[in-house]
Structure 1
């Protein structure tokens, strides 16, 4: 779907970021649209994960990081002093490269965030949220008889779906995924990609991926990063068949990267 038919969800303007003295992002401008998947691609160390972490202020926890620019969620500045990063991360969920379930039961992994954010009024409410989140993450049928067993006992692909269930348990508006399939086998990867396809019906999603095939399969828009700069962003089909910039062309055809 062309960008003009989609609703703008997040907008980044002139985002610059430094790790100490070293600048990692240079004047990044990117619009992210609701109910669609935006893929960030580019060689290792080009700034895609750094930029992704700007969107939920995960870089705040890294010492020596300085950020300049403007990032808005529904028009609100997410770096404004009054914004509580914890509340922001309930609205902008994150799934990491390596599945990282808590050392708790499957049930408690999913119940944790709704409980601390006060989303459940009763035990029944909480159970409903957990079941619904596991269903949305395509995991409930596989784990429904062992909800009290540790989440760490699941397979890698199941653990990653558990982390997705955990991230969506608080009904985020945006879901960020940092190479969510890089540690998974092809079958588990296909399950996660199907899941992304389903979740985008109700969410804005931004994924970082090293796999060009994955970007082509799951995203509607693709942004190409190189040396900390956003080179270009366009509809995924155009980015892979007819990019504007020679550097994008060289990267997607495998000439470098």
Structure 2
């Protein structure tokens, strides 16, 4: 990903709704990374309320990007733009440009079912289907036509659970309900379910907020391993978690993207006073 000038300059926009009220500080990545997703002047509007204001950011491939900020700052709303989940909300409009590998994600001709296979999502609370562990994993590959033969499905189940660090724990109980697993195991099952359809991007919306510290540590280790093969974007309320798992961090405040850059730089040398105040605990 090309280095971005650190000068404080408000992005130019032709979008009349994209009124980013403050300049965004962008810090260059010392490690060159290919860009997976480009967002330019993205605004999200619910009825007459604008929740996200003209956000522009590049998401690097095979890396973890963390969105941090106070509750209600727009980070989860912005996250849902990447797989068109905001389409399910009546009266919600998404303006601006969102491209993944050069493809317009807001194109009305785009099949959102296929998009959500390419851009998987793991939610705040574990939500396994009321089916067996095995059926949780094969559901996606079946409906997307990725496999139908039992041998192929068996291979997908083992590979997905292994990648999620769960295979050895459940290989002898694949036909037991997924809801019978512990909270941490259920969340890893949901991650395995997401990667079973071979996505390119995994969105995680506070995936550890309902987990205990041990389960959280296991999921964080998994995130570190998964970034070798996937682009990961995580919304987290935990700044320490963002520091542990992410390569880049973006700080949101009141619907604006205030500052983004390499995680180490954002936490050790923030340039925007609002970023510094949030990280230091002045507000949050």
Same fold (TM over 0.5): yes
Q: Is it true that 1:229 corresponds to 2:229 in the alignment?
A: no
Contact (CA 8 Å) 1:3, 1:33: kept in 2 or not?
Answer: no
Q: Is it true that 1:11 corresponds to 2:57 in the alignment?
A: no
Q: Is it true that 1:28 corresponds to 2:55 in the alignment?
A: yes
Match of 2:281 in 1: 254
Counterpart Cα distance in 1 of 2:218 and 2:31: 30
Match of 1:180 in 2: 207
SS at the partner of 2:83?
coil
Contact (CA 8 Å) 2:158, 2:167: kept in 1 or not?
Answer: yes
| Post-superposition CA distance 1:153-179 (Å, at most 9, x none) | 100000000000000001100000000
Q: Which runs of 5+ in 2 are unaligned?
A: 1-27
Match of 1:197 in 2: 224
Match of 2:157 in 1: 130
Counterpart Cα distance in 2 of 1:27 and 1:81: 20
Counterpart Cα distance in 2 of 1:47 and 1:94: 17
Match of 1:162 in 2: 189
Point out 4+ residue stretches in structure 1 off by more than 6 angstroms: none
Contact (CA 8 Å) 2:39, 2:55: kept in 1 or not?
Answer: yes
Q: TM-score, normalised by structure 2?
A: 0.89
Contact (CA 8 Å) 2:29, 2:261: kept in 1 or not?
Answer: no
Q: Which runs of 5+ in 1 are unaligned?
A: none
Counterpart Cα distance in 1 of 2:47 and 2:107: 22
Match of 1:95 in 2: 122
Match of 1:75 among 99, 102, 124: 102
Counterpart Cα distance in 1 of 2:52 and 2:89: 15
Match of 1:63 in 2: 90
Counterpart Cα distance in 1 of 2:41 and 2:229: 28
Quote how far apart the aligned CAs of 1:19 are.
1.1
Q: Is it true that 1:211 corresponds to 2:238 in the alignment?
A: yes
Q: Is it true that 1:54 corresponds to 2:81 in the alignment?
A: yes
Quote how far apart the aligned CAs of 1:192 are.
0.2
Counterpart Cα distance in 1 of 2:268 and 2:91: 40
Quote how far apart the aligned CAs of 1:244 are.
1.1
Counterpart Cα distance in 2 of 1:242 and 1:3: 15
Quote how far apart the aligned CAs of 1:3 are.
6.0
SS at the partner of 1:26?
strand
Counterpart Cα distance in 1 of 2:85 and 2:187: 19
Two-structure CA RMSD over aligned residues (Å): 1.0
Quote how far apart the aligned CAs of 1:2 are.
2.7
Q: How many residues align?
A: 257
| Post-superposition CA distance 1:209-238 (Å, at most 9, x none) | 000000000000000000000001010000
Cα 1:121–1:168 shift into 2, 3 Å: same
Contact (CA 8 Å) 2:132, 2:178: kept in 1 or not?
Answer: yes
